[in-house]
């Protein structure tokens, strides 16, 4: 029986980090399913979803993660996943949110809290701080892909989002994916 895992890893950016981390998966007969890798503040970060031939690989992988820390200065954490239940493909629809405004604390928190209170699920969130082309002022830019339950009153959801936008002094645009 196969076992699925999620691994997160990060280390000071340098050539070879992705190879060092994925090497231990390859050596243990694991198959990558989905990945996200990016550079954050000089740290190369990896999030990996993978399948192993059996749950017996958990101990060797945990030891390999400790070895990455000692030998390569890469912090890696492993988590086995419960067997995946089939999720219904209906019952929700997907939309995208684009948020932009002056950078300040609380933007992700307040928007994600509002969405959760409305039963809206975040499936992907990407954000960055960029200088404004005109003034160089720090601008926060965030793109979120969400799943909205069918039957949601969209006018009410949009009004609520615009209220959060006003409170945060940011622009929020909701669009089809």
So what's the pLDDT on residue 139? 96
Of the chain, the end-to-end C-alpha distance in Å amounts to 36
CA within 13 Å, CB half, 159: 5
- Those residues whose C-beta lies under 8 Å from the C-beta of residue 25, and which sit 6 or more positions away, are 7, 32, 48, 50, 61
- The DSSP 8-state label assigned to residue 68 in this structure reads I
Gap between the Cα atoms of 32 and 35, Å rounded: 7
- What confidence score (pLDDT) does residue 1 get? 72
| pLDDT on residue 51 | 95
Using CA atoms, how far apart are residues 63 and 52, in angstroms rounded to an integer? 15
Distance in angstroms (rounded) separating the CA atoms of residues 62 and 73: 15
Contact 90, 150 (CB under 8 A): yes
pLDDT tens digits in sequence order for the chain, 177 residues long = 789 999 999 999 999 999 999 999 999 999 999 999 999 999 999 999 999 987 789 999 999 999 999 999 999 999 999 887 666 567 999 999 999 999 999 999 999 999 999 999 999 999 999 998 889 999 999 999 999 999 999 999 999 999 999 999 999 999 997
Cα–Cα distance, 23 to 89 (Å, whole number) = 34
Domains observed in the chain: 3-80 (3.30.70.260), 92-176 (3.30.70.260)
Residue 151's Cβ-count burial label (10 Å; 0-12, 13-18, 19+) is exposed
Of the candidates 57, 52, 54, the residue with the CA atom closest to the CA atom of residue 1 = 54
Q: What pLDDT score was predicted for residue 153? A: 94
């Amino acid at each position: 029986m196969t076992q699925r895992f999620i691994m997160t890893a990060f280390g000071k950016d340098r050539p070879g980090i992705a190879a060092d981390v994925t090497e231990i998966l390859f050596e243990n007969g694991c198959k990558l399913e989905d990945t996200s890798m990016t550079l954050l503040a000089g740290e190369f970060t990896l999030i990996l979803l993978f399948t192993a031939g059996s749950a017996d690989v958990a101990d060797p992988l945990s030891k390999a993660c400790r070895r990455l820390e000692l030998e390569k200065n890469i912090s890696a954490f492993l988590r086995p996943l419960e067997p995946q239940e089939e999720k219904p493909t209906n019952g929700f629809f997907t939309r995208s949110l684009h948020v932009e405004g002056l950078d300040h604390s609380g933007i992700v928190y307040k928007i994600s809290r509002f969405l959760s209170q409305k039963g809206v699920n975040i499936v992907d969130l990407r954000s960055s701080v960029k200088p404004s082309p005109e003034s160089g002022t720090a601008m926060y830019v965030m793109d979120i892909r969400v799943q909205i339950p069918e039957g949601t009153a969209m006018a009410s959801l949009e009004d609520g989002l615009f209220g959060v936008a006003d409170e945060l002094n940011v622009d929020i645009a909701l669009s089809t994916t």
